[in-house]
Amino acid sequence: MSLKKGMQCPVALFSTLTPIDSHPSSAAFDVINQTLQSSEADRKDALDKAKAIVAFNLKNDKGEEAAWYLDLKNKGEVGQGLAPQGGKADVTLNLSDADFAQLVAGKANAQRLFMGGKLKIKGNIMKATKMEPILKKAQGAKPKL
């Protein structure tokens, strides 16, 4: 399934995203959302530092694509799709589901993925560099049940 711009599922505070079976690393977006929502200070800090809407377009081993966004410009939320309704991503990261899982787990480096052609960036590349602290905070977090 390929999500196109305009197809999204906004997320309210403390809600959970439904992981997509075809993309195992999709559960990481729930962890990132919970990390952002668990502390108002951390969420405001992420908004102040990133000031961007970052889209992740992930392709699984069957070639199926799915997309999520991190709204770190307005609300500090995570949702499915390329951007929140009425919004546009400042930067879009295209990579495999497996590479994203490695990135979130801290086992892969975004710069190396980019230099190796495994991570493609469209838009403001400087905004993409603001994602590292958010991904690091999510590394040790566990999803709340």
How much is the mean pLDDT over the chain?
83
The pLDDT of 34-42, averaged and rounded, is 88
Computed on alpha carbons and rounded to an integer, the radius of gyration of the chain in Å comes to 14
Q: Is residue 45 part of a domain?
A: yes
Q: Is residue 142 part of a domain?
A: no
CATH assignment at residue 41: 3.30.1050.10
Residue 91 inside a domain? The answer is yes
The domain in which residue 33 lies consists of: 24-135
For the chain, give the percent of residues with pLDDT over 90: 56
pLDDT of residue 142: 52
Confidence of residue 3 (pLDDT cuts 50, 70, 90): very low
Query: How many CA atoms within 13 Å lie on the side-chain side of 41?
Result: 0
Residue 145 lies in a domain: no
Tens-place pLDDT, residues 68-92: 999 999 999 999 999 999 999 999 9
- Report the domain count for the chain: 1
4 lies in some domain: no
What distance in Å separates the CA atoms of residue 92 and residue 40, rounded to the nearest whole number?
Answer: 26
What would the pLDDT profile of 50-60 be if each residue is shown by its tens digit?
A: 999 999 999 99
Tell me phi and psi for residue 51, to 5 degrees: 45, 50
